[in-house]
Structures are given as structure tokens and as C-alpha cells.
Amino acid sequence: MANCFALMGWSLPVIESVQKSGLPYVVVSFPEFGAYAKEHNIPFVGYKLDEFGSHSNSLELVELLKPFNADVAVPLYEETVEWAGALNSIYRDAPRVLNRAFLFRNKAMMKRKALLGGLKVGLFEEVYDREHVHKFLDRLNEAELQLPGEEDAWFHAKPFAAAGTVGHHFVRSRDDIDRKMTVKDFPCLVESHLSGKEFSCEAFIHKGKIRFLNITEYVKLGYSNFIPAGPELEAKRELIHNEVQKMVDIFGIEFGMVHPEWFVSDDGKTINFGEVACRIPGGHILDLCGQAYGFDALLAFVVSHDPNISEEELDKYFPSKGYMPEKKYGNVMVFPKPGQISRLEIPEELLEEPYYLDNNLVEPLGPQKITERSGFGNHFGTVNFAGEDPVRMRELLKHYEDVPFYV
């Protein structure tokens, strides 16, 4: 077992899970959290976790963590992935651990590694200005055998290192390039649009093997999802497991949890690789996973990073092998529409719905102006559901995506 887990970032749910377990830990986060940590007796090291680069001093951070006897670093959010990789490369005396962390943070590098390893990916390039994007679209149209006068092939433009859909543009035409993309978007990755149903996995890895695999069904990306997935996706569990293990092998992932996103092909026979992260996923996915399978998924996420934990000890943190929940657990993330809001309205039909569990929506303190959202990080709360029928679950989540809870 680890001497002490260094939790990189700030997440009260993770801190609470580790506290309840009695495992030794220290939180490494921005100094601004220091007062709260002291007040609540949270072991804490204040450190400016700025974007990792040649100026970053992980050796200094190792020294600051020595009084806590830390020997395993756990990244809690996107921008701490390289910091955790740097610390773990020192703790394990394995420099390649940091190199793998770079794969998770640079989408172009990630795609190249996936392609070299044999995962099915779309056409992609690194681009540096709009002219370069137009040339990429020429090549993409050519590859798609588009005829003169037909619509342009669709593609996505996304930053190399941002989480979720921050800075993401879905480009459907040549005009979109000039209309949607500005100088501040470059350099970035452009990649062809992958058709098919998108979903994610949460694969807990230990010693290079999948210890536990969850499949999350997206009803609408960034708005709603449920766990475990419906029968259509679960029927492909063996195929999905094999592809995730292939990705783990290609990327050389040894410990932790990975959150890859995939697309099931239209014929249902293959899955295409989208991208992968190795921190806590958005959409409260680990909360849903824990509710569905009856375990503390956040704690399992932490201990999966420990190279020294035995298989027997690890078993205690996961559901029994082969267990499949009877109920689906899902949620809708509530995003008020742009404009002015003044109050919260909970529909009576929601309160009478048998699948409805609860919500954490809060009444506004007063009139509030809502601007266009960036990525998936600024929802106002969630509405939670549980029930056995995946068809009914999809219906509910789709319906409540459009309900104006804030008016």
C-alpha cells in the first residue's frame, strides 16, 4: 500500500472519500485553498500548479512532499495530469511515466500514438492558421470522394490540451472555417467527424490490466448520460473491453483510471477511437458509477494509482467480478439558456416521476444574466434518476434536457 497519496488539484468529494477510508493523503493545490484546508484539518501543500512546461520544478515539489512521505501522485483534473506524471516518474524511477502523461494532454500526439498502435481513428492534422485548415478540408473532401457541388465533409477543431469541449468547433462547411475560427484558436488539432453513437468508458487499470470496466451511455454529450449502458452497448462489452485493453497496451498505461471516448460504427461491428483522459471525468460519471455498482468509485480511482497495493487489497475497493446492476442511474446537467433568469421552477411532473431521485439545483439569489457557455464546465446542477428500463431512462433524460428549470 502507498505510504501517502498526493492528490493533485482540489476535489472535496475525493478528499472526503479518502478521509473516510483512513488512507494517508496530502492535497497539493493552489495556495488559495490553504486557509480552508487548515480550518478543516486537511493535510495540504500550497503550490502554483501552472501549466506544466520546461519552467516547472517537480523536484522542488517532491521536496515539499517529503515530510508527508508521499509516494503516489493522483491527478484530479486535466491541468494536473503532467504534474502527477512528473512526480510518479520520480517516485517509480521511470522517466517514461511523464512522457505518457504528455500523451493525455496533447491531442495530436495522442492521435499519432493511437494510429501507430492500430486503433481506428479519423483523418487528423495539426494546423497553424485558417489557410492550413482550408487545405486540410481540401484533402478531407478528396479522401471522402466528394463530388463538385456536394456538401463539405464535416470535421472538428479542438485545442491540443483543453478539457472537454472548451475551444471546440464543429465545422460543417468551408464558410464555417472563416466564421467560427479566429487567430486565438491556433495552433490546434483538426480531425474528421466520426459517425456513429458516442460513448465513454471508465477503465480502472492496475499493472497494465483492466481491473474494472464501466460503460457510460451518452444520451446527449455534455448534457445527459446513464450507467450502466443500455443493452445495445452492453452487448458489445467484449469488443469494447478488447479495444480498451489494446489502447492501454499501446499507450503503456500501468496504473490509474482512463476515460476514453469511442464511436460505435453505424454497422455496429467496430468502434473508433475518439480521445482519452486519465483524470476524473465530467458529467458526475464516477458518482453515477458508484451508485449503480455500489462502491466508492472515487476511492477506487485513487487506489488504482498505487503500484504497491496487492490484488487482494485492491479487490476490497471494487464490486464483485461480473456483477451487473439491475437499475440504471442517470442525470441531466442543467444549463440555463442565455438571457436573464430570476427563479428556479421544478415541474410538478418531475416530482411525481417514479424514476426521479433528487436534484441539487439552487434558487438564484436574484436576477442573473446568463451568457453563452464554454465547454461543459458551468452547469447549474443536476437532476438525478434511477430505474430499470433503459428506454424510459433515455426518454426522461432527453425530455428534461429541454425543460427550462431557470426562468
- Say which CATH number the domain at 33 has: 3.40.50.2000
Residue 237, in any domain of the structure: yes
Structural domains counted in the chain = 4
Q: How many CB atoms lie within 10 A of CB 176?
A: 18
B/e letters for 284-313, b = 16+ CB within 10 Å, e = fewer, are bbbbbbbbbbebbbbbbbbbbbbeebeeee
In a domain, 73, yes or no: yes
Residue 376 falls within a domain, yes or no? yes
C-alpha cell at 242: 478488447
Give yes or no: residues 343 and 264 share one domain.
no
Look at residue 255 and tell me if it is in a domain: yes
Residue 373 has a pLDDT of 59
Asked if 206 and 228 sit in the same domain, the reply is: yes
Q: For residue 339, what pLDDT is reported? A: 83
Question: Are 207 and 227 in a shared domain?
Answer: yes
Assign residue 29 a region (left: φ > 0; alpha: ψ between -120 and 50; beta: otherwise). Answer: beta
My answer on whether 56 and 32 are in the same domain is yes
Q: What is the largest CA-CA distance in the chain?
A: 68
Same domain, 321 and 201: yes
Pair (130, 151) in one structural domain: yes
The pLDDT assigned to 361 comes to 96
Domain-located, residue 109: no
End position of a domain, from candidates 294, 325, 356: 325
Same domain, 180 and 203: no
Per-residue pLDDT of the chain (407 residues; tens, 9 = 90+): 999 999 999 999 999 999 999 999 999 999 999 999 999 999 999 999 988 876 788 999 999 999 999 999 999 999 999 999 999 999 999 999 999 999 999 989 999 999 999 999 999 999 999 999 999 999 999 999 888 889 999 999 988 877 666 778 999 999 999 999 999 999 999 999 888 899 999 999 999 999 999 999 999 988 999 999 999 999 999 999 999 999 999 999 999 999 999 999 888 888 999 999 999 998 999 999 999 999 999 999 999 999 999 999 999 999 999 899 999 999 999 998 878 899 999 999 999 999 999 999 999 877 888 776 555 556 899 999 999 999 999 999 999 999 999 99
CA distance 176 to 83: 36
For residues 212 and 288, membership in a common domain is answered with yes
Q: Are residues 9 and 62 in the same domain?
A: yes
Predicted structure pTM score:
0.92
255 and 309 share one domain: yes
Domain C-terminal end among 284, 301, 325: 325
The candidate with the shortest Cα–Cα distance to 394, out of 305, 328, 314, 317, is: 328
Q: Is residue 352 part of a domain?
A: yes
The pLDDT score that the predictor gives to residue 371 is: 73
From 192, 212, 231, give the residue that closes a domain: 192
pLDDT computed for residue 164 by the predictor: 64
- Domain holding 335, by residue range, is 329-401
CATH code for position 218: 3.30.470.20
User: Are residues 304 and 213 both part of a single domain?
Assistant: yes
Does residue 115 fall inside a structural domain?
A: no
Q: What is the pLDDT of residue 160?
A: 86
The predicted pLDDT at position 226 comes to: 98
In a domain, 111, yes or no: no
Contact 397, 383 (CB under 8 A): no
State whether 321 and 333 are in the same domain.
no
Q: Rounded distance, CA 157 to CA 127, Å?
A: 9
